[in-house]
Amino acid sequence: MQSVRVPATGAPRAWPLYWAHGREAEAGMRVLIAYRSKYGGTEACARALAERIQGDTVLADLRRRPLPQPRSFDVVLVGGSIYGGRIQREVTWFCESHEEDLLSRPLGLFICCFYTGERAQTQIREAFPESLYNHAFGRAHLGGTLHPASLGLLDRFLVRSLGSPPGDVNRTRAEEIEALARATVQAGAVPAGRSAPR
Ligand SMILES: Cc1cc2nc3c(=O)[nH]c(=O)nc-3n(C[C@H](O)[C@H](O)[C@H](O)COP(=O)(O)O)c2cc1C
């Protein structure tokens, strides 16, 4: 499998760790972060989420195969970046083909993009199937990054029409990454004696 398992690090695991630190996942909580990134901005956000969530977290690039099955996880996060107002088709495909499984467990959604405020909210709403959007415990806009030198010719041309400033731009929203990580840990916390849906 091409996905990357992020080893749990940090504090000892005798306690439900989110009690101790308000953030780290309960021991054994399995989290899937499925993402699509064109130039690496969303991938960096997915990795930052994984580091903050800890637990047993798997990062899965939606371009690669085979992909992990969402039903094997206690919580799933799905995200991608916005180009021309739309999320990548791999994200749409993953959401549609696993809709039932994604509706049966805690789900968080995220996008990376440049627009903010109401425009960003609209982009999130339109990026995911309505059923998943309504079901999600979190719908986060994690900001955007741009390195013009790394863009393909067409993207370089298109991005000028967005009014993007010249030079590298990093508008990653660290506080949103932190908030989604916290919400993920809380969403995956199950009462003692019960296991999350598999
Ligand atoms: C050609 C191009 C088109 C873009 N279109 C949009 C857009 O419609 N809305 C938006 O908010 N951001 C847009 N962006 C900004 C990207 O979503 C942002 O740079 C994001 O961080 C890219 O993430 P990635 O490197 O993971 O693909 C665009 C960027 C490029 C290069």
| Residue 36 to residue 88: CA distance in whole angstroms | 7
Q: For ligand 1, is residue 4 a contact (CB within 6 Å)?
A: no
> Which residue out of 37, 81, 126 has the highest number of ligand 1 atoms within 8 Å of its CB and is therefore the one to mutate?
81
User: In this predicted model, what pLDDT tens digit does every residue of 111-144 receive, in sequence order?
Assistant: 999 999 999 999 999 999 999 999 999 999 999 9
Beta bridge partners of 4: 59
Q: Which one, of 29, 18, 180, lies nearest residue 110 by Cα?
A: 180
Q: What are the φ and ψ backbone dihedral angles of 5, each rounded to 5 degrees? A: -90, 130
Sequence-distant (≥ 6) Cβ neighbours of residue 105 within 8 angstroms: 70, 71, 73, 74, 75, 76, 196, 197
Residue 104 Cα, ligand 1 centroid: separation in angstroms? 31
| Residue 46 to residue 40: CA distance in whole angstroms | 10
| pLDDT at site 189 | 86
> What's the mean pLDDT in 145-168?
87
User: In this predicted model, what pLDDT tens digit does every residue of 37-61 receive, in sequence order?
Assistant: 999 999 999 999 999 998 899 999 9
> What's the mean pLDDT in 130-159?
94
Q: For ligand 1, is residue 51 a contact (CB within 6 Å)?
A: no
CB neighbour burial string for 131-141, b if at least 16 within 10 angstroms, e if fewer: ebbebbebbbb
Please say whether the beta carbons of 146 and 168 come within 8 A. yes
Q: What is the average pLDDT score of the chain? A: 86
Residue 84: both structure tokens together = 């021309």
Q: For ligand 1, is residue 83 a contact (CB within 6 Å)?
A: yes
DSSP 148: G
Homologous superfamily assigned to 4-149+172-188: Flavodoxin domain (3.40.50.360)
Q: What percent of the chain has pLDDT over 90?
A: 73
DSSP 65: S
Helices 41-53 & 174-188, crossing angle to 10 degrees?
50
Residue 108 Cα, ligand 1 centroid: separation in angstroms? 20
Question: Which amino acid, one-letter code, is at 142?
Answer: L
Burial of 155 (0-12, 13-18, 19+ CB in 10 A): middle
> pLDDT at residue 8 above 60?
no
| Residue 189 to residue 82: CA distance in whole angstroms | 31
Residue 196 Cα, ligand 1 centroid: separation in angstroms? 35
Residue 126: both structure tokens together = 């339109």
| pLDDT at site 10 | 38
3-class SS at 89? helix
Please say whether the beta carbons of 55 and 25 come within 8 A. yes
First CA to last CA distance, the chain: 19
